[in-house]
Amino acid sequence: MPWYWILLIVIVVVVASALITSMRSKRAVTMLSEEDFKANYRKAQLIDVREKGEFDSSHILGARNLPTTQLRNRYKELRQDLPVYLYCENGGRSSRTALFLKKKGYTQLYALEGGFKNWSGRVKSTKK
């Protein structure tokens, strides 16, 4: 079999896997516009899933940091009876986090569309 057929097969498998993951993530989380996110996040658990350094430099006022790299050990810190509002830098990590939490029984999962980079609301920043 020529090398280019093998390369084509690998590309097809990778793309198919990415599409399946994307579709599963969309079923696990409700994406909210910034306006809708702002309307209700104070009544929910507001979780920043970025790494500690990203969170420390700037985050949405009132958010807790629960990095995706620590999720498997810390997800039980979240209450299942309250909505969970997630955000990351651009939306990818929060979608993967929602997929994980859905598997663990969480049902009220919401994510900020476009992530923190599109946030125009109040933030807490560390001055350098």
Bridge partners (DSSP) listed for residue 106: none
28, 46, 66, 88: the catalytic one is 88
Alpha helices in the chain (DSSP H): 3-28, 34-40, 52-57, 71-74, 92-103
CA 110-116-117 angle, to 5 degrees, is 140
For residue 78, indicate whether it is catalytic.
Answer: no
Distance, CA of 35 to CA of 33 (rounded, Å): 5
- Of 79, 85, 78, 102, the closest CA to residue 36 belongs to 85
Give catalytic residue positions. Answer: 88
